[in-house]
A and B are shown apart, each in its own frame.
Chain A
Amino acid sequence: MGLIRCLVFASFTIFILNLNFTQKIVASEFEDTISLNNFGMPGDIDLPSATRLPDGQFSVSSSAFGGTIRVNLSFQILENLTGAFRYARVPGGRYKGYAWDRSFDLHYLVFKEKPIFPSVALGLRDFIGTGIYSGEYVVMTKSFGPDFKISGGVGWGRFAGYNGFTNIFSRSNRGGRDHGYGGTLETDNIFSGDNSPFLSLSYRASKKLQIISEFSSDGYYQEVSSPKGFNRRSDINIGIKYSVDPTLTVMATLMHMDTVGLTVNLGINPKNSPYQSGTEPAPMPILQKKYRSQDPNSEKDILAESKRLLKLEGIELKALKLFGNHVEVGIINRRYINISQMIGRVARILSLTTPPITREFQINIIDFKSNLVVSEITINREDFEDNELKFNGPENLFGSVTINNSNKLFFDNDQKEGNRLSWSFYPYLDLMLFDPDAPIRYHIGAELYGRYKVTPLTAISGSLRKPITGIMDEVKRGPKSGLPNVRSDFMYYHRDIGSNLFINFLTIDQYLKPLPNLYGVVNVGLLELMHAGVRSEIIWKNNKKPFAFGLDVANVQKRETSGNFNLKNEYYSTYLASIYYDLPRDWIVKFDFGKYLAGDLGSTLSINRSFNNGWEFGAYATLTDVPFSTFGEGSFEKGLIIKAPISWFTGKKSRAVASATIRPITGDGGAKLNLSKDKYLYNAISEYDTKNLQDNWKRVFR
């Protein structure tokens, strides 16, 4: 009987969908927030639709109605695949009458809309988590003209709350919701249990206004049974979406004809900077030798002039040596996130300052923090000048460019310049999310950072912090049990530090480069807020290869919770081997395996989608030999990573990147040390490799 009803429903849907074969609604090229639903996924109000968002769009949305509050982060992972992470307050729970829930969704557009056929999408809602929103769906969408759209589908789990019928796949038994530790993939329940139809109609009344009506089968059982929730009076939801611009949409809803709601959707696309190719000043143009003074200059004069001009470009020239027909320079890049652009600017200045006999520019890039000479890039002067204004200039030039690991180990002249000490004093913000007692905890304070170069490869660096205000020291929950508390007792540190001055970290850092392809660092001291000891990292990286290998070993002792020099009698060791692979099409994969801080053995897989302009979105998961039950809430270590380059927002040259790691749960299993980002070598080395330069080479003449 169930199958017949399903077939009738499907036939009816297809019939309706085929009434009109006109043009479909076209989404904007880069941002489309009007197509987001209350869950931050492609859809109308609460229901999904078989649409997709522009590739690369990152959306932040929040909806509130009838006691429910959802905050959604979603990302168009691939052209047809959308993923979302959600944190929701759900009526009916033990925290002042509410439950706080984290969930993950995936939505895949299987077929795009054709003149006759509708688009089809599959989706998994809350497939990793405690399952409050757990459900699956198949949905079809068809447009009728530019303004009218209809979506219909069949849903399981949460989607089959009302009007259900027998499972069309004959998987009638659906397990109960996981009230345990959550965080695991609930594969057994997928497309199981009863299923229900759902339908939504949307009409674009104007360019900015959309009117929607839904026939929703979601029962909202938990919400309606709570005094904090609402009454479900009908299957119907009604909504009006107003698109302020493609990046911002506001939606007002009447949910199940009982409670009004408001949703705000924000979206940005890393592919669409407000400053397009940037507003940094124009580079020095090429002035061919026949127009330049032919007077020979001394090497000292050339160095001084090159240094002056490069400083105007934001590049530090550290060394220059003329050798017959080639010049060798050592530079530090402190302003350009795009290395190809920086290389182009160095070549332009050298083209202007070096004598006509110089035919080759050999540019050695020195890493600012470590003083290690990372890459050596050789450019033929004539090719560079010839291609400056050619239509395919960058491509023509790249053929004659060579990129190698530099044979030079480190730069050693810096000591003479007397700039051994650097310091800064700035406010800082510490955030902690997902505590049910206070979902956003923070500390705002002041940070004094200092760094002193003892020798070219040795530095002492430290950070002192003084919290001024915040509620991070008020966490009520205690640490987890079952494993040594290497990370989950973080709240004791914030509690005991309170608003006192504390040492965030204080280390001696020794850098090494025993071979052209081998880079190393040893850190000794107070490594981070919770651990002190010795840590060493070695990276093997051939600049011509897209992969690298690393080894990170540490022997640490737990710091006292007051943030001073005192240590606890708790000792831990960790060793992790890493494989890095920079895949084609902008995916970076990292695989770690070994022993984690709490002594557990396992591995971490992290996958990041990177954009040429510096944006990165990624996720990681760590599975170790710690049982999920021992790990506790969340079952295993996992998180999301977002990196946003400041230059994208300002249009100016800058290497600054704002980054955030969103960890749904902090546990002790799979825990790693958490040193400041600049103490990890791989990123500093890999940005100067062939792949990164090639991916961005089009910018060499910008």
Chain B
Amino acid sequence: MNLKILILCVVAFLISCSSDDVVKKEKEEFYGIYRDFAKKSITGPTKSSRPLEGIERTSSWLSNFNQPIILISSTDFKNQATLIALGNNEEKLTWVSADGISLTYDQGILIATRGYSQDLYSLKYTSPKELFGSNRLSYKKVHRYLNSENKYNDLNFRCRAKKIPSKTIQILELELTIDRFTEECESEQYSYKNEFDLLAGTTIVIVSKQWISPANQYFLTYNMYAFQKT
């Protein structure tokens, strides 16, 4: 291939365009596959990363938000996002981030995610009232995922939950007495330990560490709306 032909090919590639945004997007994605292969970057979804450590989490910071928010974070604090509530279906709240990730909670228990590659599609779980109302409990739990063929992939867990005596944590500038609730679950292939910090004497979850899926592992949730003025 001589230089003239090479230049022509490059020019043809560079001036590629379309009047149709969908066609444009599809072509970009098509070429993106080769780019990704070249970069060896088929690794998974990009996640928002705003260091929580750099944010001064005070009541005045929280007062900047005029709608309820939660903070979520990976356990290493590298991937974090602020989510606002957009959905409410039978008191199950769905929180959405600016980059299109959503998490749905039933009174603090994470029951669905959307926008991650291995989403928790749905969850068969013990009611929060029953779970947080007991000191010790054994039960079954099923995590449901959609595979690449739009079929279900269910993970069946046997779980044991127990309440740990009250202790104190600091959130914002407040010192709170909490009841820690741990949930240990095991399936044939996987096991996890969820932790829920409940406002002492209540079933209100303030902070939790919950397992989503084998690929996404754990996420921390800070229920800031509990401290927001209505």
Residues in chain A near residue B36, CB distance under 8 A: 649-650
A389 to chain B, nearest CB (A): 5
A19-27, A94-102, A543-551, A653-661: which lies at the interface: A653-661
* Cβ contact within 8 Å between A423 and B18: yes
Q: Which residues from A are CB-within-8-Å of B17?
A: 424-425
Q: How far is the CA of A424 from the CA of B21 in the complex (A)?
A: 10
Q: Does B217 contact A (CB under 8 A)?
A: no
Q: Are B150 and A273 in contact (CB under 8 A)?
A: no
Known: A282-B101, A285-B96, A651-B117. Is A424-B18 also a contact (CB below 8 A)? yes
> Which of B61-69, B108-116, B167-175, B177-185 lies on the face that meets chain A?
B108-116
For residue B3, give the distance in angstroms from its CB to the closest CB of chain A: 12
Most buried by A among B36, B114, B116: B114
Counting chain A CB atoms within 10 Å of each CB, which of B1, B111, B148 scores highest? B148
**Residue contact A275 to B89, C-beta cutoff 8 Å:** no
- Is the beta-carbon distance between B149 and A613 smaller than 8 angstroms? yes
Partner pick for B25 among A284, A389, A654, CB 8 A cutoff: A654
Contact B148 A654 (CB under 8 A): no
Complex: how many Å from CA A564 to CA B145? 54
Residue in A closest to B20 when the chains form the complex, CB atoms: A422
Chain A CB within 10 Å, residue with most, of B30, B87, B111, B146: B87
- Does B225 lie at the interface of the complex (its beta carbon under 8 Å from any beta carbon of A)? no
Q: How far is the CB of A498 from chain B (nearest CB, A)?
A: 13
Q: With contacts A279-B116, A696-B150 known, is A335 near B22, CB below 8 A? A: yes
Chain A 431-482 interface residues, beta-carbon cutoff 8 Å to B:
444-446, 468-469
Is residue B94 contacting chain A, with contact meaning CB distance below 8 A? yes
Bits for B85-118, please: 1 = Cβ < 8 Å to A, else 0: 0111110101010011110101000011011111
Q: Is B52 an interface residue (CB 8 A)?
A: no
Q: Whose C-beta in chain B lies nearest to the C-beta of A290?
A: B88
A430 at the interface (CB under 8 A from B): no
Q: Do B151 and A469 touch (CB < 8 A)?
A: no
Are B117's CB and A286's CB within 8 A?
no
Query: Are A393 and B122 interface neighbours, CB within 8 A?
Result: yes
A469 near B9 (CB under 8 angstroms)? yes
Hey, which chain A residues are within 8 Å of B19, CB to CB? 421-424
| Closest-CB distance, A369 to chain B (whole angstroms) | 12
Chain A, 404-441, contact with B by CB distance < 8 Å: what is the 0/1 string? Answer: 00000000000000000111111100000000000000
Contact A612 to B102, CB < 8 A, known contacts A277-B145, A287-B86, A427-B12 = no
User: Is A664's CB within 8 Å of the partner chain B?
Assistant: no
Residues of B within 8 A of A611 (CB): 149
B1 vs chain A, min Cβ distance (A): 6
Interface membership of B44, Cβ < 8 A? yes
Asked whether, in the complex, the Cβ of A285 is within 8 Å of the Cβ of B87, the reply is yes
Chain A residues with a Cβ under 8 A of chain B: 270-288, 291, 314, 334-335, 338, 340, 385, 388-391, 393, 421-427, 444-446, 468-469, 611-613, 646, 648-652, 654-656, 658, 695-696, 698-699, 701-702
| 22 A–B contacts from the bound complex (CB under 8 Å) | A272-B148, A276-B118, A276-B215, A277-B118, A277-B121, A277-B150, A278-B117, A280-B115, A281-B100, A287-B87, A291-B88, A389-B111, A389-B112, A391-B122, A422-B23, A423-B20, A425-B18, A469-B9, A612-B150, A650-B32, A698-B146, A702-B114
Q: Are A646 and B150 in contact (CB under 8 A)?
A: no
Is B139 an interface residue, CB under 8 A from the partner?
Answer: no
The 7 A-B pairs with the shortest beta carbon distances in the complex, nearest first, are: A285-B87, A281-B100, A282-B102, A282-B114, A424-B18, A285-B94, A273-B148
Contacts of A281 in B (CB 8 A): 99-101, 114-115
Query: How far, in angstroms, from A271 to B151 measured CA to CA in the complex?
Result: 10
> B58: CB under 8 A from chain A?
no
Is B26 within 8 A of A654, CB to CB?
A: yes
Q: How far is the CA of A282 from the CA of B150 in the complex (A)?
A: 16
Does B104 contact A285, Cβ atoms closer than 8 Å? yes
A431 to chain B, nearest CB (A): 16
CA distance A338 to B146 in the complex (A): 13
Beta-carbon nearest neighbor of A285 in chain B: B87
Query: Which residues on the B side are within 8 Å of A282 (C-beta)?
Result: 96, 100-102, 114-115
- A305 CB to closest chain B CB, in angstroms? 15
Q: Is the CB of A334 within 8 A of B22?
A: yes
Q: Is the CB of B45 within 8 A of A651?
A: yes
A334, B18: Cα distance in complex, Å: 15
B33 touches A649 (CB 8 A): yes
B100: chain A residues at CB < 8 Å are 280-282
Q: How many A-B residue pairs have CB under 8 A?
A: 177
B94 and chain A: residue at smallest CB distance: A285
* B123 engages A391 (CB within 8 Å): yes
User: Residues of A contacting B30 with CB < 8 Å?
Assistant: 646, 656, 658
Q: Is the CB of A646 within 8 A of B33?
A: yes
A444 to B8, CA, bound (A): 10
Contact at A654–B117, with CB atoms within 8 Å?
A: no
What is the bound-complex CA distance between A280 and B25, given in angstroms?
14
**B133-172 toward A: CB 8 Å interface, digit per residue (1/0)?**
0000000001011111111100000000000000000000
Given contacts A276-B215, A389-B122, contact A699 B29 (CB under 8 A): no
Given that A391-B124, A468-B5 are known contacts, is A424 also in contact with B23, CB under 8 Å in the complex? yes
Chain B hits for A278, CB < 8 A: 117
Bound CA–CA A314/B21 (angstroms): 10
- Asked if B150 contacts A613 (CB within 8 A), the reply is yes
> Which one of A280, A427, A696 has the highest number of Cβ atoms from chain B below 10 Å of its Cβ?
A427
Q: How far is the CB of A41 from chain B (nearest CB, A)?
A: 25
By a CB distance below 8 angstroms, the chain B residues around A270 are: 148-149
Q: Judging by beta carbons under 8 Å apart, are B29 and A656 in contact? A: yes
In angstroms, Cα B33 to Cα A651, docked, is: 11
A282-B102, A390-B122, A423-B18 known; A469-B26 Cβ under 8 A? no
| Distance, CA A423 to CA B19, complexed state (A) | 5
Minimum CB distance partner of B99 in chain A: A281
Provide the residues of chain A in CB contact with B114, threshold 8 Å: 281-283, 702
Give complex CA distance A22, B96 in Å. 51
Q: Is the CB of A468 within 8 A of B22?
A: no
8 further A-B contacts with Cβ under 8 Å, apart from A280-B115, A391-B144, are A270-B148, A274-B44, A275-B148, A276-B146, A277-B150, A424-B23, A427-B16, A654-B25
Cβ-defined partner of A426 (8 Å) among B18, B112, B119, B123: B18
Task: Report the separation of the CA atoms of residues A580 and B45 in the bound assembly, to the nearest whole angstrom.
Answer: 38
B57 touches A (CB below 8 Å)? no
Give Cα distance in the complex from A650 to B115, angstroms: 13
Question: Of all chain A residues, which has the CB nearest B25?
Answer: A654
- State whether the Cβ of B15 lies closer than 8 Å to any Cβ in chain A: yes
Whether B9 contacts A468 by the Cβ 8 Å rule is yes
Select one of B42, B92, B117, B123 contacting A277, CB under 8 A. Answer: B117
Closest to B114 in A: A282
| A277–B117 CA distance with the chains assembled, in angstroms | 6
Nearest CB in chain A to that of B103: its residue: A282
Residues of B within 8 A of A646 (CB): 26, 29-30, 33
- Residues of A within 8 Å of B86, CB to CB, are 284-285, 287
Which residues of chain A are within 8 angstroms of B25 by Cβ–Cβ distance? 654
- Among residues of B, the one whose C-beta sits closest to the C-beta of A649 is B33
Closest chain B residue to A341, Cβ basis: B150
* Contact residues in A for B44 (Cβ distance below 8 Å): 274-275, 279
Q: Which of B43, B99, B100, B142 has the most CB of A within 10 A?
A: B100
B89: which A residues are within 8 A, CB to CB?
285-288, 385, 388-389
Closest B residue to A696 using CB positions? B150
**Are A469 and B147 in contact, CB atoms less than 8 angstroms apart?**
no
Q: A426, B117: Cβ atoms under 8 Å?
A: no
Partner of B150, one of A272, A338, A652: A338
Q: Which residue of A has the minimal Cβ distance to B216?
A: A276
B92 near A389 (CB under 8 angstroms)? yes
**For residue A275, which residues in chain B have a CB less than 8 angstroms away from its CB?**
44-45, 117, 148
Name the CB-closest residue of B to A273: B148
Q: Contacts A287-B86, A421-B19, A426-B16 given: A277-B5 contact, CB under 8 Å?
A: no
The distance in angstroms between the C-alpha atoms of A699 and B149, with both chains bound, is 10
Cα-based distance from A581 to B117 in the complex (angstroms):
33
Contacts of B8 in A (CB 8 A): 468-469
Within the complex, the shortest CB–CB distance from B212 to chain A, in Å, comes to 12
